Each structure stands twice: as structure tokens, then as C-alpha cells.
Amino acid sequence: MFAFRLAGIKLLSLVALTLVFVATSASAVFANLEPRNNLPTTSKQHLSLQRRSAILNNNPRRMGRRSKRHCKAKSRDDATTSKGAKQHSGSHSQVSSQNKSGTSSNSGFESDSESKTSSSVSGGLFGFTSKNCGSSGANDDQPNGSQDFLNCGLTSGGWKPPQLSLSQLRIMPASQASTAPVFAPCKEVLWAFEAAEKAHGVPATVLMSFAMQESTCNPNVTGGNGEQGLMQITRDKCRGAPNGNCKDPWFNVDTGARYFKTTLDQCGGNVLQAIGQYNGWQLGLTVKKATAAKAQGNCHAQNNLDYLYQMLNGWFLGKANTYDIGSYKNLAAC
């Protein structure tokens, strides 16, 4: 009888061990079946399809072989957009090294066309003098130069801006701009400006300044001449937009940043000329030419003669009253 009970106990123990083993194995199997891609099906932010594909493609271990299919663009326009999207993460280390190495270079003149993201709060044009335009007139209220200096030649033969590089200017660091009240409208799409900075080397604060000046950082704005979105890019720059949506925040900011950087390079690094061209300024511009559209019944088509001053001594510094500064105010009556 005792032997029978002992055998029964051994049998029950064996069954229990077997059940534990089976349960453990099943847990391991289900754990391996759990999806490794933790990205949500629908992003909380309004990312374009190309941008989302780029994010997924930057995690090849998660996507396996599938990611290779998304790396090949179907057209030249798609290739340009896809290439720009994938460069966001790849250029991060390059921009970071520029930030570290260039912080103290604001006071020195840069003759090359490379735009650095290193302009710090200690920069500015204090003591700077141009051969053709004279003293910058920089002071604590206008560290990036007086309006007469920035608009040099506008009232005497045509606009001919002094040669200045982006790294010479005082620009609010992006870390401060991201929480500054004046840039509050840009907060929800801050990620788009940060991505464009990494891709093109243009400071996020500069890009947000363009957006505030052009659209009050509203991604849904359509300009009077059909300009699109945050950066108010023209229709000819909308090729390759995701689903034809030129107002897509990532596409719009990235396109605007690329255009500005290209213009800056073409201008030999002259940041004043490049910023002016973003608002339609050209070398040789005069007050009469800039305001001619008003006499023709199209007030909003004028060039904003306060544009440079508002950008450099307003938005770049995070000033709350930027729309009100400047002496011309030629758009105020529109």
C-alpha cells in the first residue's frame, strides 16, 4: 500500500513538472511573436508618408527585408523627397559637431558659404564696419545692425547689402526659442524645424523666424499669391509633396530650409542677400520698386521694407513686438 502511494506521488510530481515546462515554453513563443516595431499605426504628429517611411527605414532590424523596398524611390521627385527625409538622422552628428566647434566664432567674419548653427547670444555686429555701408550701428536693442545698415543703398541707387555671414549674427539658441512665448505658435511643429536644421544646417530659430514672419507659424495658411503653409513656399516648389499636400509640415519646412540654404550658397554666404531674396528682394531694389505694386492696386504684393530689420532684430532675438518694429511700415495700410 505504501509503495502504491509513493508511486502515485511520483506520478503527480512528474505531471506538475511537465505542465510547468509547457507553460514556460508557450510564454517564450508568444514573447517572440510580439511585434518588435513599437511605432504607433497612426503617429500622434502629422508626419508625411515619406517622413514616416524614413523613420521606419532607420530601424532595419525591426523591419527586416521589408525596409529595402521603401528605400527605392519611384520617381525623381520622390527620390529627392525621400533622400531629404533619410538625411535628417544621418546629419545629426555633423550638425552637433558644428554646434560645439563654432560657438565662439560669431565675432569673426566668415567668407565661405557654409551656414553654421553656432550663433550664440554673445554674437552680433558690435563694432562692425562695412566699406560701402559704414558702421553697423549695432547696440543692445539692435545687435544685428541698424535698419539703414541692413537696407544699405535702398534710398541711394539700389540695395547693396554688406557681406555678412550667418555665424556673425546674434540668434537666440533653439533651446530657448522652443520655449519662448513669441514662438508659441510653432511649438506643435517644432519637430519639423529641428529635423530641417539637422538636414540642412540652418538653425531652427532662423527657420521658425521665417515661419512666424510669413505665416505666423500656421501650417494651413494660403498666401495671397498662392504661397503654401508654414514657410509660404511657392507652388513651383511643391513637386514631390506627400499626396500632393504642399502644406505638410515636414515637407514644407524642409523645402523652405533647402531653398534658403541653396540661396545662401548662391549668394556667396551673404546672409542679408539670402534673407532678402526670401521676401523677393533683389540687388538694386529701391523704395520705388518695392512699393510699385501698391500704386497698381495690389498692396500686399509689395516688398516688406522692414523685413530684414524685423527678421534680424526681432524674430532672431525672440522679441514679442517684432511685427511693430521697423521704420517703413509700408504694408501697414494694406
| The domain made up of 93-324 is a member of CATH 1.10.530.10 | yes
Span 85-109, average pLDDT = 35
Burial of 226 (0-12, 13-18, 19+ CB in 10 A): exposed
The C-alpha cell that represents 316 in the structure block: 532672431
pLDDT at 192: 98
Distance CA 78, CA 110 (A): 35
Q: Are 80 and 50 in contact (CB under 8 A)?
A: no
Residue 113 confidence (pLDDT) above 50: no
State the pLDDT confidence band at 300, using cuts at 50, 70 and 90: confident
**Span of 69-78, 251-260, 281-290, 311-320 with lowest mean pLDDT:** 69-78
Q: Where are the domains of the chain?
A: 93-324
pLDDT at 74: 28
Span 96-115, average pLDDT = 34
Q: Per 3-state DSSP, what percentage of the chain is helix, strand, and coil (rounded to 5)?
A: 50, 0, 45
CA distances from 175 to 194, 200, 204 (A): 10, 18, 9
Winning range, highest mean pLDDT, from 37-41, 84-88, 203-207, 220-224: 203-207
Distance CA 115, CA 94 (A): 13
Residue 213 confidence (pLDDT) above 90: yes
Span 147-151, average pLDDT = 99
State the pLDDT confidence band at 207, using cuts at 50, 70 and 90: very high
pLDDT at 16: 61
Phi and psi torsions of 78, nearest 5° = -65, -35
For 1-18, write each residue's pLDDT tens digit.
545 555 555 555 665 655
Residue 181 confidence (pLDDT) above 90: yes
Q: Give the DSSP letter of residue 131.
A: T
Span 22-27, average pLDDT = 46
Query: How much is the pTM?
Result: 0.65
Span 159-185, average pLDDT = 97
pLDDT at 11: 57
pLDDT at 1: 52
Distance CA 167, CA 89 (A): 23
For 58-82, write each residue's pLDDT tens digit.
332 333 333 232 223 223 333 344 3
State the pLDDT confidence band at 29, using cuts at 50, 70 and 90: very low
The C-alpha cell that represents 254 in the structure block: 524642409
Q: Say which residue, 55 or 124, is predicted with more confidence.
A: 124
State the pLDDT confidence band at 87, using cuts at 50, 70 and 90: very low
Winning range, highest mean pLDDT, from 19-23, 45-49, 313-317: 313-317
Percent of the chain with pLDDT over 90: 61
Average pLDDT score, the chain = 75
